[in-house]
Chain A
Amino acid sequence: MEFLLDGLKALTWQQVVMYAVGIALIWLAIKKEYEPSLLLPMGFGAILVNLPLSGVLDQTLQGGIASNGIIEWLFHVGIEASEAMPILLFIGIGAMIDFGPLLSNPLMFLFGAGAQFGIFAAILLAAALGFSLQDAASIGIIGAADGPTSILVSQIMNSKYIGAIAVAAYSYMALVPIVQPFAIRLVTTSKERKIHMEYNPSSVSKSMRIAFPIVVTIIVGFVAPQSVALVGFLMFGNLIRECGVLGTMSDTAQNNLANLITLLLGITISFSMRAEQFVTVETLMIMAIGLFAFVMDTIGGVLLAKFMNLFLKKKINPMVGGAGISAFPMSSRVVQKMAMEEDPTNIILMHAAGANVSGQIASVIAGGMVINLVTKFLA
């Protein structure tokens, strides 16, 4: 009966660490409700792929019999070969986004751009800490505050840290209510946080809502072709939502498609959470750099708002700039909550929501820019 002990004999301490990581992710998902749709499958997947001789991974059995593993296959087909899973998820995300607050107040577009600063600051820090340019770019993109973009860029960059990057991206997205208030308070005064903003939305016609995703796709396609897969599928989802004749398809994209892909993406990405890859000093460094990226994103957006206030008659509450990250709608809610803590009558939610959806567009443009620039440097 000694064969029953084969698994136990093959166990390593790193695998035990990964069980603890997996259980911690499941706990965060269930108890704290931190991105449960992603962290729970990732946590369970982390346990699955780290069981000794696990059947979810490809292996050669005794007698030379090859055995294919489902998670390894999903990773090769759904992420490695085509990046299909993160890209398809963008259809669902696009169908969920209402660009109305942004279209009625286009000035908010700028904050989406400003709040991508953390990506580049993190790339610089990662490069300074000794990561290769591809890995630094993959780590920096955690600052996009956008899980699928992080997975896609790190896969295209062929980074071996894709598992740690995905964990960092989704963990910090869930921790936006803690990270952003800290970063915003670092660079704003109480007086600035009390600034009121009038909200006089211009009406957004249906034709404008339909034209917007098409126009954005064409513009970004010309300027940053590497972003087309991301922006194109995001805008395709939005067009389905706004066209008005594909109601059931829009519902399917927002719910069934997004849920199905998210479920599979979570458990598939756990392939890159195998102990030998994950239990390293680099993983801790990636988590720290990811946090730095989120803080610098927020600071970048806030400082842009403060800079614009030097020239504007009607001042902008600088916290709105911090909402220009892609974590929607959490970031705009956090900013509104902070505004009400300073002054219960201060309502800046719609401005923050405009900046927040701009962050969705800007983060995928940033992903394309990073791919474009890094590959040019490596050429």
Chain B
Amino acid sequence: MNMENVFAALSIMWKGMGGIFVTILIIMISVWIMGKIGSKK
């Protein structure tokens, strides 16, 4: 087992899941803002 690759994969898991959640949260907030703007109109 190449431990260097395993640790790299763990780091990719941590950063990747974090990155996806942050991106999705930004999209969610944008949708919420667009919804608010739309409802005011």
- The answer to whether A211 and B34 touch across the interface, beta carbons within 8 angstroms, is yes
> Which chain B residue lies CB-closest to A304?
B21
Contact flag A223-B19 (CB < 8 Å), given A123-B13, A207-B38, A374-B12 = yes
Bound CA–CA A110/B22 (angstroms): 10
Which range contains the number of A residues in contact with the other chain?
35 or more
**Contacting residue for B13 out of A121, A129, A202, A361, CB 8 A:** A121
Interchain CB contact under 8 A, A369 and B6: no
Interface size on B, residues (CB 8 A): 28
Q: Is the interface of A mostly helix, strand, loop or mixed?
A: helix
Contact A219 B38 (CB under 8 A): no
Q: Of the candidates B5, B8, B16, B28, which one forms a contact with A119 in the assembled complex, judged by CB atoms under 8 Å apart?
A: B16
Q: Given A219-B26, A377-B8, decide whether A120 and B35 contact each other with a Cβ distance below 8 A.
A: no
Interface residues as binary, A151-172 with B (CB distance below 8 Å gives 1, 0 otherwise) = 0000000000000000000000
A293 at the interface (CB under 8 A from B): no
Bound Cα distance from A123 to B9, whole angstroms: 6
Known A-B contacts A109-B24, A127-B9; A120 and B31 likewise in contact (beta carbons under 8 Å): no
Chain A residue at smallest Cβ distance from B20 = A113
Residues of B contacting A126 in the complex (Cβ-Cβ under 8 angstroms): 9
Indicate if the CB atoms of B23 and A377 lie closer than 8 Å. no
Residues of A contacting B1 with CB < 8 Å? 128-130
Q: A362-B24, A366-B20, A373-B15 are in contact. List 20 more A-B contacts (CB 8 A).
A: A103-B31, A103-B35, A106-B31, A109-B31, A113-B21, A121-B13, A124-B13, A129-B1, A133-B9, A208-B31, A216-B27, A216-B30, A220-B27, A358-B24, A362-B20, A369-B15, A369-B16, A370-B12, A373-B11, A374-B12
Some 6 contacts from A to B, beta carbons below 8 A apart, are A109-B31, A120-B17, A126-B9, A202-B35, A208-B38, A373-B19
Could you tell me which B residues sit within 8 Å of A by CB distance? 1-2, 5-6, 8-13, 15-17, 19-24, 26-28, 30-32, 34-35, 38
Cβ-closest 4 pairs across A and B: A120-B13, A127-B9, A127-B5, A124-B9
